[in-house]
Amino acid sequence: MKYYGSTDRTMNHDTDPLRELEATSARLTPHVRRGCDSVPSPDVLAAIRTAATRQAGAPRILPFVPWAIAAAATLLVLLSGWTLFRVRQATEVARQATLMDDMLFLCAEASVVPETIAPGAQREERARRLLNLQGLGEAAAPATKVSAESEELPSTDSQSHNTRELQAQRCG
């Protein structure tokens, strides 16, 4: 293209070819429009109008709603997972703490522990719980028996004595 090549040395610098082309286009435009513009058939226009009316009346989903729903669902799943994890973790910690507490208590009991640390009934209960936790069904029976007997005995000294014997055996 002779006029528009950037390296074209024949380019006429006195006139702006782009401006000239724009001016020619502007001169021709009304004539071209008068000659070339045409009208679509009424059926086509009616179809377009019907489609526009239908589309305008259709319920529209706001663009952010799907994103909000997706974000809420993701958040819900994450929160549920986190809560479940925390509950299970807390349960496990509590179980371990109870077990440790009982072990320490029993070992302390097997040694010399003053009676004032815990009342007799509480000690019985904790011993029974420990044995149940450890799955010592056969060992739980004497403990229960001791507990049952202890209810009939006026003093808790013999009950504590029996329990201590049993606990000492378990602790080695």
Q: Which residues bind another protein (CB under 8 A)?
A: 1, 3-6, 17-18, 21, 24-25, 27-29, 31-41, 43-45, 47-49, 51-53, 55-57, 60, 63
Pick the closer one to another protein by CB: 49 or 145: 49
Nearest-angstrom CA–CA distance, 4 and 10: 10
CB of 17 to another protein, least distance (A): 8
CB of 27 to another protein, least distance (A): 6
Amino acid symbol at 66: P
CA distances from 23 to 16, 17, 31, 66 (A): 11, 10, 14, 50
Pick the closer one to another protein by CB: 37 or 138: 37
In this structure, the number of other CB atoms found within 10 A of the CB of residue 123 comes to 22
CB of 88 to another protein, least distance (A): 46
Q: Is the Cβ–Cβ distance between 128 and 138 less than 8 Å?
A: no
